[in-house]
Amino acid sequence: MGPAPAPTHSAITLQVNGEKYTLSVDHRTTLLDALRERLDLTGTKKGCDQGQCGACTVLLDGRRAVSCLQLAVAAEGREITTIEGLADGERLHPVQQAFLDLDGYQCGYCTPGQICSAVAVIEEHAAGWPSAATDDVRPEAGVPELTAEEIRERMSGNLCRCGAYVSIVQAVARAAGAEEAAV
Amino acid sequence: MREFGYHRAADVSGAVALLAADPDARFLGGGTNLVDLMKTGVERPARLVDVRDLPLDRIEPAGDGGLRIGATVTNSELAAHPEVRRRYPALAQAVLAGASGQLRNMATVGGNLLQRTRCGYFTDASKPCNKRVPGSGCPAIEGVHHNHAVLGASAHCVAVHPSDMGVALAAFDAVVSYETADGPGALPLADFYLPVGDTPHRETALPPGALITGVTLPPAPVAARSRYRKVRERASYAFAIGSVAAALDVADGVVREVRLAFGAVASRPWRARAAERALTGAPADADAFAAAADAELSAARPLPDNAYKVTLMRNLTVAVLTELAEEAAR
Amino acid sequence: MTTAPTRPAAAQGSVGTAHTRVEGRDKVTGAARYAAEIPFTGLAHGWLVLSTVARGRIRAVDADAALALPGVLAVLHHGNAPRLVTDYVGMLGVPDPTAAVFQHDRVPHAGWPVALVVAETPEQAREAADTLAVRYDEEPHDIAFSAARPDAYPVDGYTPAVTEKGDVEAGLAASAVVVDEEYTTPEEHHSAMEPHAATARWDGGRLEVVDSNQGSTWVQSELAAMFALDPSAVRVVSEHVGGGFGSKGVRAQQVAAAMAASVLGRPVRVVLTRRQVFSLTGYRSPTAQRIRLGADAGGRLRVLEHRSWNQTSTVYEFVESSAGPARVLYDAEAHRTSQEVVRLDVPSPTWMRAPGEAPGSFALESAFDELAEKCGIDPIELRLRNEPETGPVSGLPFAGRNLAACFREGARRFGWAERDPRPGVRRDGRWLLGTGTAAASFPVGAGASTAALTAEADGTFTVRIAAADIGTGARTALTLVAADALGTAPERVRVRVGDSAFGSAWIAGGSMGTRSWSWAVTEAARELRERLALSGEIPPEGITVRSDTTEAIGALARKERHSFGAQFAEVAVDVATGEVRVRRMLGIFAAGRIVNPLTARSQLIGGMTWGISMALHEEAVRDRVTGAHYGADLAGYHVATHADVPRIEADWVDDTDPDDPVGIKGIGEVGIVGAAAAIANAVWHATGVRHRALPIRPDRVLTGGTAGV
């Protein structure tokens, strides 16, 4: 005899950009769809819905993640930051400002994901995390300089079909204060 | 995607009990593979048991210089850990070569080992696939197999395992620990993945309902000089078409110890033991490296469109071992 | 109340100065809403079901089980869907019938839309679509494209199938140097980051569609034709568009949404999945191209023959006009070009960024590099020696060419003079290094457009035009053009686009958008200034004028109108692993007057980035067993990502179209043209091996190795 059918919906509370939202979700609902369809936070974009483009990148407990592969029900209890939560009132986040000033985008659809990813890249680098572009990953080698090559590798989970990579890398470097290293 | 129940497990025994009670249940880790497969209809679980909150998220010393890595440690945490980077640099490099920063933050060590092949016939539920629907056929053999297996495949399946992390773990003799309703168990990685044979849908030797709890890396001083190189069809954020994890200890120009494993050539991370045997005690030079690679690759059975992989793996092996030998000589 | 604006004190205008995007703040904060993001009360969600067979007939759609699932509202298919008008001729010709969903039981290719499931939530719709039982009578399929197909036939598309002068065979026999090679390019996909999405709502007999498209009045007119409505009864709005590249016209999602909304009497949204985008929204056909060049010892062409083949579907005839560059770049006594198609059981191809020119330039500009090698002449010098005075086929004068200036400026900045022509002699560790160059050209023009321009009572201006800003920066460019035409500051101009209610306008396509719309805006501004000079005072509702450029554009003299460019690339190749990395690129363009240098540079670099992607990565694979795509997703279909793209520089020489009121040509497409050839030529320079099949994958490099190096 099989097990008793389990409930397929749950009432959950999501904490997004410092606000608490209580809602009932179909367990199938991804965090991405919950943000877009239920909370009207449409800044987070759906490019592939398969973890293959990065357009849906948000920060979960401060770390970047693709919200399309994150079930909403499993995101309960985590601090979620989306593109809508980065600016300080009217003052743009330095990464947002750099994208705006350096034209780090064209159609704008991958942009929220690029920006969320870039915010995390700068923090990951500051925390001393190596990348696949880091020649020597041993801790004795120290923290790699945030060169253009390092930025490119770390940002590679965010596709941009318009081909704005060149100015995105410049924008990330500027926001990280690494413009000289990233020439 | 069918409707499903969701449970967040608070402890290992509870998680294992939930799975034991329902054959249609699956463990949910980072979800980076399972949720995708649910969207495409390849996986249709009736319930998910979320194991992300289980206390399996630590990396601790084990034995004399070994490490025990909890199953829910994320790929990012694994790659960033100072002791991993110091003692097993190829493991950190392998993890960093996989997926993207976002996916590595989500994906767990346990899930990485259990991820499914990216063979395009397997991931498309409208197409035949022996791994997904036993007996339905393997169109890859006659169809698209540009990135399929050259080692250890069968007439029933030629898919490759996509993990980068697993290749380094294979080189370093990792042991996988698990828990079942009947108690704990352990499997060396060498025995973890089953041969393809005529049962490609049976991928691991884990007992039904088992939960991976961690991976233990035995002490391996040779691993301190190790390297992972991956070749893919774009510079980043792509699965391998061939990869090598290697560790090398050279004394007086002679190979004292070598570890070698291949990625993207077989249904599992491929430990190149024939190459290791051929190389141990041999001179640490390009000819010996090439001969060792040939010793391993003589077993290769390529299909018309993936024969390049044999050359690629040979060249990659020589290149990585040469780099390590030069490093040792410095 | 305010007075009419006066001319600015200084003659310095806004056109030609860098401006950040007027919608930039909305884009970096996530406030910009795209098609699937506009809220609707009572919205239902549609999910398309595509055929799993490559050819045959639908025997039955058994919807009972799907309809019994929770939340499912309807299942539309050929047996119950509203009938459409399909025998009309649209703004761009006979439409691809792929958009006219559910009209018959025939399945012409894998991934053909066979049903739409509508449910209360997307999760419910997806599950019902996945489980919908569609049974087929399957027929054998044929998807094998090649130039050797006996059933290939020439087709006049937007350009003639065949152009011919002189005797090719006699010319070749008399040539000191001959190049005769075949080149191939694979099936490529637009892969705009925003999947196609539409929401439809009926209000009485009026249809309203919120869409993601490259031309709102274009989509409006097609939907009106299909649903037998007066165009005034259809409104299409498309404010922000997440990329298009040729794929965002009338597609299955608008039509299916409009059908379902009419059946259910409530708004319905249909968003394509990424996999569906691969099947339903067109693609660049694979091409096979054969080039024969004959030249004298000094490299002067006696013969240029460029033959091209592409595939099309059994339901639509699309020509990939790859012979385009040969008809513009070089002349020869014997000059022959042809474009043929093969009809197969595949989806319909369509325009994709630089249609024709992108694959055509790969073949032609690779062949020119081979000719330079054989003649022992520098590739730039070879091109300069073959600069034509007039259009090689048309004999018409060029409305500005400046290709030679592009090469000279590019050579200077790239350091071409120091280049050692020998292949395979530069090394950096495991990498062999090489450089390459290629010419670029893309036709430019203007399409008739209307614009409305309002002088507001508060002293500002509002432009309303059914333009589409698909990432080109059109909104910002039109702001600058309007400001200059009105003699005011850009901050006082508000540009509204993407609404068919603004009147007919050309599409964001053919590198013609900004030019076409700027023309209409300039005309309107001229008239408005005249009106304002007479009226003196502006009433509360403002003063609005409308322009229509149909007549002015119709009166344009026939000329060879193109943007040109010179592409340069440096690559590193590891022949042991087959990896190719582009280390730097430079493109110098002659592309008319540049309206906004900031966004123009981005667009040109974007095109060059596509060139990297085309040269090294992109290839959609069709499985001969099932006839369907293999790996139709963004992990299986690789577009270049950050790590593939080095520092790229794009710049331009002074250029203009003297017949355009602003001097604009077009920049949307020329950036990709020639870029893949420059990279392939650089790979030859690095390794000594020619790669005539794109993409230059690691396995091809590995197998090709090095030649005589």
Residues C45 and C89 in one domain: yes
Q: How far apart are the first and last CA of chain C?
A: 78
Helix (H, G, I), strand (E, B) or coil at C559: coil
Tell whether the model's pLDDT for residue C5 goes beyond 90.
no
Please identify, in words, the CATH class of the domain defined by B223-329. Answer: alpha beta
Whether residue C95 is found in the same domain as residue C28: no
In A52-71, the residues whose Cβ lies within 8 Å of chain B are: 54, 57, 60, 63-66, 69-71
Choose one of A52, A85, A118: the last residue of a domain: A85
User: What is the H or E stretch that residue B7 is in?
Assistant: strand B5-8
Chain A, 61 to 100: residues with Cβ < 8 Å from chain C are 82-84, 86-87, 92, 96-97, 99-100
| Helical spans, DSSP H, in C201-270 | 216-226, 252-264
Using CB atoms, which residue from A8, A134, A154 is nearest to B5? A8
For residue range B76-128, list pLDDT tens digits in order: 999 999 999 999 999 999 999 999 999 999 999 999 999 999 999 999 999 99
CB distance from A142 to chain B under 8 Å? no
Please tell me the distance from the alpha carbon of residue C616 to that of residue C229, in angstroms, as a whole number. 46
Question: Is the predicted pLDDT of residue B330 greater than 90, yes or no?
Answer: no
Task: Tell me the per-residue pLDDT of B123-180, one tens digit each, with 9 for 90 and over.
Answer: 999 999 999 999 999 999 999 999 999 999 999 999 999 999 999 999 999 999 999 9
Residue A74 lies in a domain: yes
How far is residue A95 CA from its own chain's centroid?
A: 12
Q: Given CB atoms, is B46 within the 8 Å cutoff of chain C?
A: no
Domain boundary, last residue among A53, A85, A117? A85
Q: Does B102 touch chain C (CB under 8 A)?
A: no
- The one-letter amino acid code at C212 reads S
Full residue range of the structural domain in which residue C203 is found: 38-140+191-280
Q: For residue B245, what pLDDT is reported? A: 98
Beta bridge partners of C274: none
**Alpha-carbon span B122 to B40, nearest angstrom:** 10
Q: What CATH number is attached to the domain comprising A51?
A: 3.10.20.30
Tell me, what amino acid is at C622?
R
Is the residue at A183 inside a domain? Answer: no
What pLDDT is recorded for position C707? 76
State how far the Cα of C168 lies from the Cα of C194, in Å rounded to an integer: 47
Cβ atoms of C350 and C385 closer than 8 Å: no
Per-residue pLDDT of B14-44, as tens digits, reads: 999 999 999 999 999 999 999 999 999 999 9
Q: How far is CA A132 from CA A59, C84, C443, in A?
A: 21, 54, 42
What confidence score (pLDDT) does residue B288 get? Answer: 98
Q: Which of C228, C248, C280 is the last residue of a domain?
A: C280
Contacts of C534 (CB under 8 A, 6+ apart): none
User: Token pair for residue A105?
Assistant: 């985008």
For the cut 50, the answer to whether the pLDDT of residue C10 exceeds it is: no
Domains of chain C: total: 3
Residue C1 has pLDDT above 60, yes or no: no
Domain extent, residue A124, equals 94-175
Note the pLDDT tens digit of each residue in C426-446. Answer: 999 999 999 999 999 999 999
Q: How far is A84 from chain C (nearest CA, A)?
A: 6
Question: Which residue, among C225, C213, C244, has the nearest Cα to C505 in the 3D structure?
Answer: C213
Report if residue A146 sits inside a domain: yes
Which residue in the block uniquely carries the two structure tokens 């939530």? C121
Q: Per the domain annotation, does A181 fall within a domain?
A: no
Question: Average pLDDT, stretch C543-571?
Answer: 97
Interface TM-score (ipTM) > 0.95: yes
Looking at the predicted structure, is the pLDDT value of residue C604 above 90? yes
Distance from CA of C634 to the nearest CA of B (A): 10
How would residue C9 be classed by pLDDT, with cut points 50, 70 and 90? very low
Let me know whether A73 and A114 are in one domain: no
Q: Are B89 and A137 in contact (CB < 8 Å)?
A: yes
Looking at the fold, whether A79 and A114 belong to one and the same domain comes out as: no
Contact check, Cβ <8 Å, B80/A127:
yes
Total beta-carbon pairs less than 8 A apart between chain B and chain C: 98
pLDDT exceeds cutoff 50 at A142: yes
On whether residue C536 sits in a domain, the answer given is yes
Across the range C580-591, mean pLDDT stands at: 98
Residue C423 lies in a domain: yes
Which tens digits make up the pLDDT trace of C358-368?
999 999 999 99
Same domain assignment for residues C268 and C206? yes
Q: At residue C676, what is the residue type?
A: A
Task: Kindly determine whether residue B121 and residue C630, on different chains, have CB atoms separated by under 8 Å.
Answer: yes
Say yes or no for a CB contact (<8 Å) between C643 and B127. no
Read off the tokens for C58. 């639908």
Residues C208, C409, C619, C669: which is the catalytic one? Answer: C669
Name the pLDDT band for C252 (thresholds 50, 70, 90): very high
B6 has which bridge partners?
Answer: B48
A30 and chain C: CB distance < 8 Å anywhere? no
Question: Which region, left, alpha or beta, applies to residue C143 given φ > 0 means left and ψ of -120 to 50 means alpha?
Answer: alpha
* Percentage of chain C lying above the pLDDT 90 cut: 96
The reply to whether omega before B195 is within 30° of 0 (cis) is no
With an 8 Å Cβ cutoff, are C123 and B1 in contact? yes
Of B195-204, C7-16, C668-677, C699-708, the range with the lowest mean pLDDT is: C7-16
Q: Hey, are the CB atoms on C576 and B318 less than 8 Å from each other?
A: yes
Claim to verify: residue C214 and residue C128 sit in the same structural domain: yes
Domain final position from C492, C522, C554: C554
Specify if A4 maps to a domain: no
A123 and A102 within one domain? yes
Q: A167 vs C241: CB contact, 8 Å cut-off?
A: no
**Residue A176: its pLDDT value, please?**
97
In a domain, C285, yes or no: no
C158 pLDDT band, cuts 50/70/90, is confident
Number of independent structural domains in chain A: 2
What CATH number did the domain enclosing C511 receive? 3.30.365.10
Check if the beta carbon of residue C482 is closer than 8 Å to that of residue C547.
no
Q: Return the domain boundaries, chain B.
A: 5-48, 223-329
Active site (annotated) includes residue C381: no
Residues B5-48, CATH architecture: 2-Layer Sandwich (3.30)
Dist CA B39 CA B1 (whole Å) = 6
User: Nearest chain B Cα to C53, which residue?
Assistant: B126
Say if A106 is an interface residue toward chain B (CB within 8 Å): no
Domain end residue (candidates: C231, C254, C280): C280
Say what percent of chain B tops pLDDT 70. Answer: 100
Kindly state the average pLDDT of the residues C306-329: 98
Pair A79, A101 in one domain: no
- Tell me the C-alpha distance between C191 and A43, whole Å: 20
Q: What is the mean pLDDT of chain C?
A: 96
The predicted structure's pLDDT at residue C272: 98
* Nearest-by-CA chain B residue for A2: B22
Same fold flag, B5-48 and B223-329: no
Chain A hits for B79, Cβ within 8 Å: 129-130, 137
Whether residue C672 is found in the same domain as residue C540: no
- C-chain CB neighbours of B130 within 8 Å are none
The pLDDT confidence band at residue C507, using thresholds 50, 70 and 90, is very high
Cβ-contact C475, C497 below 8 angstroms: yes
- Residues B9, B179 contacting (CB under 8 angstroms): no
Subunits that touch chain A (at least 3 Cβ pairs < 8 angstroms)?
B, C
Range name among C77-86, C90-99, C192-201, C520-529 with the lowest pLDDT average:
C90-99
Does the pLDDT of residue C11 top 90, yes or no?
no
Task: Examine the fold and report which residue of A23, A53, A85 is the final residue of a domain before the chain moves on.
Answer: A85
Q: Which residue has the tokens 């319930």?
A: B47
